[in-house]
A and B are shown apart, each in its own frame.
Chain A
Amino acid sequence: MSKTIVELTDELPSSGMTVRLLQGLDFLVPGQWTNLTGFENTITTVTGETDPEMIRQIGERAIYLYNDSEQGYQRAVWLYQTANSMGGKLGAAALANKIGESVSFLSFLEKITPQADNAQMIDFCLKLTAEVVAYYKINGIPGDGMGEFMAAVGDYGKESIMRLAALVTLDGLIPLGPDFLRKVESTMSGLDFSSNPVFNAMGNLIPGSDKLGFVGNAFHSMKDWMDNFVSSRGITAEGVVGNLKNFIEVSDDRLDYVAGFLDMTTNYFDYTGVQTVARRLVERAVAEI
């Protein structure tokens, strides 16, 4: 095991690029996300308990559950971190590719870097896949029957809904444009996942033998929700970047550069992932002591 849950939560900063980014996206899911940091603070915020002995018992149980690798919480953190780890590299690749398109003497870059859109679509699909697999690792398959399970998934809130809002806008809408879902759907079968290090790293945790099929299913299972999320709120890339400008210095004249820049300088996916895992862990720990 790399870091303990205490280290992971205590190391979440109260400020910085990622925090500013998430503050800038708060208007998409108002009131859902608060920057939940610190192990003890997570316990008191989630449970409402302030008695030191209760906090100690809850903390102890949460640490035990996180340490037990069979409980899935460690794997969920690993998935969030792994899916995010390509962010910086893909961002760099996207930038290099744009230079390749506009600067002739660097045009050879076209040969060694993927098309920016394809790289972005792979990143988008793998984060969605990580989200689905991490959900199972954290929550199991809760409820009796499909109806209850779908209601459980539909009840995404707090850090989880913020992560999805960020995924849809920062990895979909802004870099790929308003028809990003249709674009991903029509291009998916031609995307080269098999040489992608994140896809290969995640392979063991993706259920079933048809790993690529699972990635496709993850996208299709969430496509309608994402479509509705964007259309029902009237979200546009310009609107999101316009609001982000209140928190981060970005320019809204080249949205693909904005996406690459945010990709390289922030880690919203594993940041909120750790917050989700810590919340669920504490929810279970307080119920078990």
Chain B
Amino acid sequence: MNGRANNFICVFQRISLLTAFCLMLVMVSCGKKEDPRWAEAQKKAEQQLDAKKEAIKEGTMPKPQEGGGFNKFFPAAGDGFERVASQEKEGFSEYKLKKGGKEVAMLAINDIAANPSAADKFKSSTRMIGGFPAVDQGAMASAVLVANRYQVKVLSRDPSFTKANRDAWLAKFNLQGLSTMK
């Protein structure tokens, strides 16, 4: 009887352990489950990159400008603001704007040749800066679309840098010069 009981306990313990292990696996796999938004974005990115390769091969996508070509259109430092180069890639250039050593905003120009959907938001633009359509985007960014090709953006990084500051700095870019860039 004791032997049977021991066997039962033993089997029961094994089943319990197995169940616990399975539960643990389920919990771990649930915990690691990727956010569907990002899983979807990953798939979309892979498809877009395949399409980009194809478009480049067929010559149907304009080659984005070199980021360094944009630098001369950025506003100069001044009024207590310091400007520090941050990132420069194909079709993209970005500077930090600092005041008193603190990062308060980012200034950026990008060529939307490789990302044309960025132009969509300007269709509902109700204002102009320097003669070009302007929009606010989210809580921290304002942007201008130049020559339907170049997006100029100012992004607040500190609450002290307001929407009015963003508009003022957007107007300081050499937007006309940028519009003639070929």
Contact = CB atoms under 8 A, between A and B. Distances in A.
Kindly list the 5 A-B residue pairs having the minimum CB-CB distance in the complex, ordered from nearest: A143-B85, A142-B85, A287-B108, A140-B88, A54-B138
A47 B157 CA distance: 7
Interface residues of B, number: 44
B37 A56 contact: yes
A72 B90 CA distance: 11
A142 B141 contact: no
B38 A64 contact: no
A130 to B, nearest CB: 19
Interface in A225-246: none
B139 A50 contact: yes
Contact of B92 (A10, A60, A288): A288
Contact of B137 (A7, A54, A59, A60): A54
A49 B45 contact: no
Contacts of B84: 151-152, 155
Interface residues of A, number: 42
Interface in B138-177: 138-141, 151, 153, 155-157
A148 B68 CA distance: 12
A51 B151 contact: no
Interface in B41-91: 41-42, 44-46, 48-49, 52, 67-68, 71-72, 84-90
A163 interface: no
A39 interface: yes
Contacts, number: 119
Given A59-B38, A64-B45, A283-B94, A48 B156 contact: yes
A12 to B, nearest CB: 14
A4 B87 CA distance: 22
Most buried by B among A10, A48, A49, A138: A48
22 contacts: A6-B38, A6-B42, A39-B35, A39-B38, A48-B140, A51-B138, A51-B139, A56-B37, A63-B38, A63-B41, A64-B41, A67-B42, A70-B90, A141-B68, A141-B88, A143-B88, A152-B86, A283-B87, A284-B87, A287-B94, A287-B155, A288-B92
A71 B118 contact: no
A68 interface: yes
Contacts of A71: 89
A143 B71 contact: yes
B35 A152 contact: no
Contact of A67 (B45, B72, B95, B151): B45
B67 to A, nearest CB: 6
A283 B118 contact: no
A286 interface: yes
Contacts of B38: 4, 6, 39, 59, 63
